[in-house]
């Protein structure tokens, strides 16, 4: 298990200030969610942690990121840890939009996930593959097919499976439910719970607050690059503001005790 500490993080893309003084913790073994609408800075936060901001012409302008007490970000003006070293340390990102290698087979996509040093020995890789196939049997059945032929939900499974091949200690998930039917999104959510139960900390960014608050123990709300609200997921799920703005409940139906109980149960 692993823990992440983000302190006062500010990020810019040239003149665009995407994050301002963001502080956040993922305690060891936790699932933590960051909620926020389009453009709030959720993806930027994950890029900063996975050290991939430079690929998008972004850069941290202040603050720090620590993983297990190790500094991920360098002193101001320096690049800090490389993306490859972040993966080697156990921080693996599943990017938004199910980015699989469409022309490669499902099996080769999974193999690609095991290219880094962290994947371990051949025996470790075989064990990781068996685990991915146990979590997502469809990826075993369709091993020889091109990934581009999979459904959206199956591609999300493959993207997640590929990340697991690198044996992450902290998994960064960017809107895994985006564009999926509710049943498929729920399946993905269950798998994330299973992955967490077997020892991986998770930082999840989501617009789907109902799903995310069910998964997470602690939640942050990001608005225009700043954390505006944070607390235990159960508390946020019950908060009028979150329910109105992120759970699609209006003032009239929001206070219903039945709804509140349901949300509490989800986030238990």
Binding interface with ligand ATP (CB under 6 A): 13, 16, 18, 36, 38-44, 56-58, 207
- Give the 3-state DSSP-derived string for 193-205, with helices as H, strands as E and coil as C: HHHHHCCCEEEEE
Measured between alpha carbons, how far is residue 33 from residues 86, 88, 113 in Å?
20, 23, 24
Distance CA 52, CA 91 (A): 12
**Least distance from C-beta 224 to ligand ATP, angstroms?**
8
Give least dist CB 207 to ligand ATP, A: 6
Q: Which H helix or E strand runs over 154?
A: helix 152-164
Beta carbons of 3 and 9 less than 8 angstroms apart: no
Which is closer to ligand ATP, CB of 57 or CB of 127? 57
How many angstroms separate the Cα of 208 from the Cα of each of 66, 106, 150, 245?
A: 27, 27, 23, 11
Shorter beta-carbon distance to ligand ATP: residue 15 or 144: 15
In whole angstroms, give the CA distance from residue 168 to residue 182: 26
Taking the least distance from each CB to ligand ATP, the nearer of 108 and 226 is 226
Nearest to 158 by CA among 137, 178, 189: 137
Nearest approach, Cβ of residue 133 and ligand ATP (Å): 31
First to last CA, the chain: 21
Query: At closest approach, how far in Å is the CB of 17 from ligand ATP?
Result: 8
Pick 167 or 174: Cβ nearer ligand ATP:
174
The residue (of 33 and 139) whose beta carbon lies closer to ligand ATP is 33
Question: What's the rounded Cα separation, in Å, for the pair 112 and 104?
Answer: 10
Least distance in Å: CB of 105 to ligand ATP? Answer: 29
Q: Minimum distance from CB of 59 to ligand ATP (Å)?
A: 11
Give 38 or 250: the residue with its C-beta nearer to ligand ATP. 38
């Amino acid at each position: 298990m692993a823990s992440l500490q983000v302190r006062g993080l500010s990020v810019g893309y040239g003149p665009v200030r995407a994050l301002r003084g963001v502080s956040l913790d993922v305690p060891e073994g936790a699932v933590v969610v960051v909620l926020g609408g389009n453009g709030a800075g959720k993806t930027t936060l994950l890029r900063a942690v996975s050290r991939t901001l430079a690929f998008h012409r972004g850069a941290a302008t202040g603050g720090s990121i620590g993983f297990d007490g190790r500094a991920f970000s360098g002193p101001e003006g320096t690049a800090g840890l490389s993306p490859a070293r972040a993966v080697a340390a156990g921080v693996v990102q599943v990017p938004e939009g199910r980015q699989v290698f469409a022309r490669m087979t499902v099996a080769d996509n999974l193999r690609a996930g095991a290219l880094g040093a962290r994947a371990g020995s051949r025996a470790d890789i075989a064990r990781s593959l068996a685990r991915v196939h146990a979590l997502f049997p469809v990826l075993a059945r369709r091993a020889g097919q091109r990934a581009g032929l999979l459904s959206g939900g199956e591609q999300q499974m493959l993207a997640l499976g590929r990340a697991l091949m690198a044996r992450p200690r902290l998994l960064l998930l960017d809107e895994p439910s985006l564009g999926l039917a509710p049943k498929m999104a729920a399946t993905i959510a269950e798998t994330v719970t299973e992955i967490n139960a077997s020892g991986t900390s998770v930082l999840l960014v989501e617009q789907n607050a109902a799903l995310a608050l069910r998964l997470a123990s602690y939640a942050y709300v990001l608005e225009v690059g700043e954390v505006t609200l944070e607390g235990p997921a159960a508390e946020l799920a019950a908060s009028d503001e979150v329910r109105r703005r992120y759970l699609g409940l209006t003032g009239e139906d929001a206070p219903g005790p039945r709804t509140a109980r349901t949300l509490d149960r989800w986030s238990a």
